Structure 1
Amino acid sequence: MKTKLNVGCGTDIKPDYINLDVADLPGVDVAHDLTKFPWPFADNSFDTIELINVLEHLPDTIATLEELHRIARPDAKVMVRVPYWNSPDMLADPTHLRSFSERTLNFFDPAFPECKDRPYYSTARFNIMRKSCYIRFFYYLKINARFLTTPLFFLARYLGAVVWVIEFDLRAAKSDNK
């Protein structure tokens, strides 16, 4: 049984993953509406879960993260990639429902003040292992700016089109019996 999940895969089919999408496209293993909970997987099913440019299309970020937490095994790797809140990509796509900053997922990590101050937002907990961002030059040249993340986020607050994409590497924080 495969223990990796590619959520909202579209046409990006990964051979070692269960490929999940709302559309029953070639290569999609499971076609399911991601806004309908629960998703068709048992608790603690996956060691690795990826959401690449998916979360911004879903209407309920908190419910989606709670569902990811439910299907993730303890310490599962969860990678979330979304457009940055003031990037041209965020604003250009009419199907984008939510925007994200470098602090958005802090509400799910007990190490951050956002989670400590508002633990009632959700019971899902993830440890943020890494945040990185992508910048673009001349639109097509995409660079992973992992080592410049902090100063770029600072600049991006005041200037648009500095950070285009933000990526969160998470670990599911849960005991073995949850």
Structure 2
Amino acid sequence: MQSYYATRKLRLDLGCGGSRSQGFVGVDCYPAPGVDIVADLTRTFPFSDSSVDQIKAYNIIEHLPDRIHTMNEIWRVCKPGAIVDILVPSTDGRGAFQDPTHISFWNINSFLYYCIEFPPYLSLCHQYGFQGTFQATRLEQVLSPGEIIYVIAQLVVVKQGQGINAALPLTCNDAFIQDLYQQYAQLSATQHQQRPMIPLHPLLPCLEDYWKNPLNLGARETLKKRVSELLSYF
């Protein structure tokens, strides 16, 4: 199976059931039309280290008992820069609890523990046994037509020295960016006991505009203004 996908992009649809997404390899614990690989995802995922380009995990991680194991395995099998797209019912609504097969429970704050933008939480999670790092490009709650609150977590896999902006064409060697992020990260670290972590992902569009043309004073001022707004809010 690994050799078959070695020459092409490997995109996994975890817990796909009979609804595998087009262009993805369907993975589920039970055989069904569209399931290409039957696997017990409570154990080691049947993929080599750093072999997967993208993971879609919709309505599956709440069925897996060990949250740290789940995130470790997702991180392990993914290549650096791989995209992880998660949809999970939130404990902020009834959807997390209504299904008797839901055995782990998540909300938007659960993902802070796995992401580089939130250093105190990530440090704690490493102490708990998490071995990886993600960058959050989207963390938000949405309400389904059935009035179930879901968390959308779109993450980028960070490995082997990649920096905070692994998902961007940005190396973070830019002194202006480094200075802004240091302000941002230091305030997050000092306030984490009293207030929520300050996320980096709202800055990503501004960072992208700035990086396209660092000499553009308008883009620079927009980025500085956005940082100031977020810092004053928190």
Shorter-chain TM-score category? 0.7 to 0.9
1:119 is the counterpart of 2:126 = yes
Q: What TM-score does the superposition give when structure 1 sets the normalisation length?
A: 0.79
CA distance in 2, matches of 1:41, 1:20: 11
Determine the structure 2 residue equivalent to 1:9.
16
Alignment of 1:1-178 (within 5 A): 1=5, 2-37=9-44, 39-112=45-118, 113-121=120-128, 122-136=130-144, 139=146, 164-175=149-160
When residues 30 and 117 of structure 1 are mapped into structure 2, their CA distance, relative to the original with a 3 A threshold, is closer
Residue by residue over 1:94-133, the C-alpha shift from the partner in whole angstroms, topping out at 9 and shown as x without a partner, is 1111211211011111321311344312111111111122
CA distance in 1, matches of 2:124, 2:20: 39
State the identity %.
30
- Contact 2:96/2:106 (8 A) holds in 1: no
CA distance in 1, matches of 2:49, 2:21: 22
Offset of 1:90 from its aligned partner? 1.3
Letter in 1 for 2:154: D
Larger radius of gyration: 2
CA distance in 2, matches of 1:46, 1:118: 23
Offset of 1:175 from its aligned partner? 2.2
- Contact 2:49/2:78 (8 A) holds in 1: yes
Letter in 2 for 1:130: R
Offset of 1:89 from its aligned partner? 1.4
State the SS of the aligned residue for 1:103: helix
Q: Relative to total residues, which structure has the larger helix share, 1 or 2?
A: 2
Q: Which runs of 5+ in 1 are unaligned?
A: 141-162
Q: What TM-score does the superposition give when structure 2 sets the normalisation length?
A: 0.61
Offset of 1:173 from its aligned partner? 0.8
When residues 136 and 64 of structure 1 are mapped into structure 2, their CA distance, relative to the original with a 3 A threshold, is closer
Offset of 1:70 from its aligned partner? 0.9
Number of aligned residues:
152
Letter in 2 for 1:60: D
Off by >2 Å, runs of 4+ in structure 1: 116-119
- Contact 1:110/1:116 (8 A) holds in 2: no
- Contact 1:6/1:17 (8 A) holds in 2: yes
Q: Which runs of 5+ in 2 are unaligned?
A: 162-234
Letter in 2 for 1:22: C
